[in-house]
Amino acid sequence: MDIGAHAPVGDSSGAFDQVQRLARELLVYKFAIDELMTKLRILSEEFDFVHQHDPIEHITNRVKRPEAILEKLRRKGLPTDVDLVAEHLDDVAGVRVICPFVSDVYRVEAMLRRQNDVQIVRTKDYIAEPKANGYRSLHLIVRIPVFLSDRVEHVKVEVQVRTIAMDFWATLEHKLFYKYDDQVPEGFADELSSTAAMAAQLDQRMESLHQRVHGGS
């Protein structure tokens, strides 16, 4: 049943049930983010205490809006059925981790991999292999256990780990494309690629300075 459509007369209870189920699904995704945020904060504080260096600058998170979830199912050619969300969508819950240096990006990944209750489902390394437009970031799809009153659910969360320079470029790139509604001026792509290369060079130079000051810490 399409929960984005009006239910026929006499079937309003079915539509209400679908909406309630979607609301509960989103609540579980929020809980998964809460669990992951707690883990990341502990890792950040503990690493800083031991090594006098915090590998995490800041963390943001979000859960997709219901209408965005339904629209993504439609784009995939799927029915807007709540039961399909967990199976077919990996980015309903998202956490973005901003790190000072490139080495910190992989340090955060390694720390997450050592967590016994965190399952790394998939990795896309856009730092080692940037996208054509210059975008760089490390993307992880992880499963986080959420302990509910009557069961345990293992919920997928998309984790994007990137440096300050990568985040600066990606944020402004998104704003520019939003302004132009994806109809960008001629030569725009080349300029973006060039600025991405500059951001990558900045990361390399700052990493080098960091290693000179702190060594392997």
Structure tokens at 101: 């240096």
46 is a catalytic site residue? no
What is the bridge-based pairing of β-strands 93-99 and 119-125? unpaired
- Residue 32 has phi, psi (to 5 degrees) of -60, -40
Residues in the chain: 217
Catalytic residue, chosen from 129, 158, 173, 191, is 158
DSSP secondary structure letter of residue 215: T
Instruction: Tell me if residue 96 falls in helix, strand or coil.
Output: strand
Instruction: Tell me if residue 191 falls in helix, strand or coil.
Output: helix
Which ranges of 83-187 would DSSP assign to H, the alpha helix?
Answer: 85-88, 102-113, 164-180
CA distance 68 to 168: 25
| CA 24 to chain centroid | 21
Place of tokens 């340090």: 107
**Residues with catalytic function:** 158
